[in-house]
Amino acid sequence: MSFHKIIIYGHLGRDPELRYTPQGIPVCSFSVATTERRKGQGDSEPTETTTWFRVTTWRNLAETASKYLKKGSPVYIEGRLAIREWTDHEGTRRTSLEVTATDMHLMGSRSSEESSEAGQEPEAKPEKDLPSIPAEDDAVPF
């Protein structure tokens, strides 16, 4: 037996898109950006590398993502990674990193405006407990 797992902690690059299969199963897609900062050597400036992932969630995770996530939302994703290669209409070879999520944790909270309309306090909507992940201002890609 063998398997692989990827963990991503980043921010949504666009609003989630929810759709349904012909069998009525919810599926939600969105992009997540992660940013890595490295100190420069000597007098050189620090460098920043952003990596984009296409994420697909299914069933309950799809409905949760569609309901609570929006562009810029911080999110923690666990899942399976696939690399897809194709040639675009201009003949350029392209590659995308695609993740099928098996677990998702919502890291932010609903806006206070949205919550006040519903007469509730803002709160995070985690799927389950998550180990503490240190947040640094320098690690936020947006």
Q: What is the CATH number of domain 6-123?
A: 2.40.50.140
Among residues 65, 46, 52, 50, the alpha carbon closest in space to that of 140 is found at 50
Domain ranges of the chain: 6-123
Instruction: Dihedral sign for Cα 58, 72, 33, 16, please.
Output: positive
Using the 8-state DSSP alphabet, how is residue 118 labeled?
H
SS3 22: coil
pLDDT at 91: 93
Please give the model's pTM, rounded to 2 decimal places: 0.69
SS3 117: helix
pLDDT at 2: 87
56: left (phi over 0), alpha (psi -120 to 50) or beta: beta
Chunked mean pLDDT (size 10), the chain, 142 residues: 93 96 97 90 84 96 95 96 92 92 84 39 36 39 42
- The DSSP string of 38-86 is EPPSTTPPPEEEEEEEEEEEEHHHHHHHHHH--TT-EEEEEEEEEEEEE
Tell me how far apart the alpha carbons of residues 135 and 133 are, in angstroms, rounded to a whole number: 6
